């Protein structure tokens, strides 16, 4: 069985800044309710961001997104830093 990174290259640049924040937090394994509190947004919004992440990165599930986040945290954080410096 091929992993997500073997099936296709992960292009984190397609994510919005908030989706990147959510993706990084998914690796913690916390429930959407706790992620929402941490970000100061509605739980429903966390679910929407998560669905967008899964769709945009062509993943199969929130669980796979959490694994990708854990494995590629440095790349994702680098993207986050780059977007801040460009602003």
Look at residue 84 and tell me whether its pLDDT is greater than 90. no
Question: In the chain, where are the structural domains located?
Answer: 14-81
**Phi and psi, residue 11, nearest 5°:** -110, 90
Q: Considering the chain, what is the average pLDDT of its residues?
A: 89
**Among 1.10.10.10, 1.20.1050.10, 2.40.37.10, 3.40.50.1980, what is the CATH number of 14-81?**
1.10.10.10
Cα–Cα distance measured from residue 51 to residue 2, given in angstroms and rounded to the nearest whole number: 22
pLDDT in tens, 11-25: 999 999 999 999 999
Specify the pTM: 0.83
pLDDT in tens, 40-74: 999 999 999 999 999 999 999 999 999 999 999 99
Q: Using 50, 70 and 90 to split pLDDT, how confident is the model at 9?
A: confident
């Amino acid at each position: 069985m091929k992993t997500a990174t073997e099936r296709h290259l992960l292009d984190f640049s397609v994510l919005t800044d908030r989706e990147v924040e959510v993706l990084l937090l998914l690796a913690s394994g916390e429930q959407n309710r706790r992620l929402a509190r941490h970000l100061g947004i509605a739980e429903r919004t966390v679910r929407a961001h998560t669905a967008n992440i899964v769709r945009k990165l062509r993943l199969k599930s929130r669980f796979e997104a959490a694994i990708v986040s854990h494995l590629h945290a440095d790349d994702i954080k680098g993207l986050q830093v780059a977007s801040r410096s460009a602003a």
